[in-house]
A and B are shown apart, each in its own frame.
Chain A
Amino acid sequence: MSLYAYCLGDDIKLEMIGSSGVAEAPVYLIDTRGLAAVVSDFDGAMVPVNRGAVLSHERVVASILAATTPLPFRFGTLVSQEKLESYVESNFEKLLLQLNRVRGSVEMSVKIIWRPEKKDDEGAERSRVVSAETGPGSRFLMAKRRELEESESLKEHGEEIASWLASIVECCVRESVVQVRPGGSLALSAAHLVERHRLEEYRHRVSAGLAERIALRFLTSGPWPPYSFCDLSG
């Protein structure tokens, strides 16, 4: 029998838990030096990634988030009680620092989707004309050059979008984790740590941004537990 770990925090109370856990197991707390880990018993060696299990995990963590901001464990964390206590003991100071970092805040997510436009037809036509007059080596190099130019242009555009997004939310965001992904349809993925009392302002500013950049599509979600702000490696 293992423990399935959902999240931990320094002010979590049993009555905050509003849902059963993965595989319908009852959820309870294990306290180590005042840090409470939210866990349930799990019978098995692995956790299936399916809708039910993922939603059960998220429901438990979300019920805690409704009352306070915990540090969420990644989905699928199975651990013995001894290992869990050892983990909390050995990372105690770092965990407290992380809890202070996210206290009173939630994570909001913004994904920006674009359709990178191909170079203009004129350029393509010019390439075809030149291609007919040159050998295979030159054609290969020209194609490579064109590819590099497009990639560079997408990167610049992605960075411009990232700067723009940062500028519209900077006044109400405590921290950000932003990944610019110029290669595909998903141009940018951003996680914002927002204080609870500034959520309305944050939402308003992002909504205004939607109206500003009609060529982009936004996928916004939240509030989430601070999944992107739980890095103990630093």
Chain B
Amino acid sequence: MTDILDDFDENELSLLETFDHVLSRGLVISGQITISVAGVDLIYLGLNVLLSSVETIKEILLSREEAHAEISAIGSAANQLQKPE
């Protein structure tokens, strides 16, 4: 039986771990983060609104296919966000 970790080489896992750490944790100056994934703006309005987080990475770890679906979901969610004036 294969394991999901077998689907990734060491470099990919290292990159996923980096994404996991830098995207979802660390000091936040409230309202000062605006990032984009795949060309779609993700507006971070404060500490409580985090669209890309460890949950995203968890999905990536589950499978690549599910990760693609997750990014699509993030894109849809981001499109529904109202951009700041």
Chain A residues proximal to chain B, CB less than 8 Å: 5, 7-8, 45-49, 51, 54-55, 57-58, 71-79, 83-84, 87, 107, 109, 111, 113, 115, 179, 181, 184-186, 189, 217, 219, 221, 224-225, 227-228, 230, 232-233
Contact = CB atoms under 8 A, between A and B. Distances in A.
A78 B39 CA distance: 18
A83 B32 contact: yes
Interface in B1-38: 1, 3-5, 13-15, 17-29, 32-37
9 contacts: A49-B35, A54-B15, A58-B18, A73-B28, A74-B22, A113-B3, A115-B1, A224-B21, A230-B26
B61 interface: yes
Residue with the greatest number of chain A CB neighbours at <10 A, chosen from B13, B36, B39, B41: B36
B58 interface: yes
B18 A55 contact: yes
A58 B28 CA distance: 16
B54 interface: yes
B61 A227 contact: no
B34 A78 contact: yes
A206 B58 CA distance: 21
A185 B58 CA distance: 9
Contact of B44 (A45, A76, A84, A228): A76
A57 B28 CA distance: 15
Contacts of B17: 109, 219, 221
A100 to B, nearest CB: 15
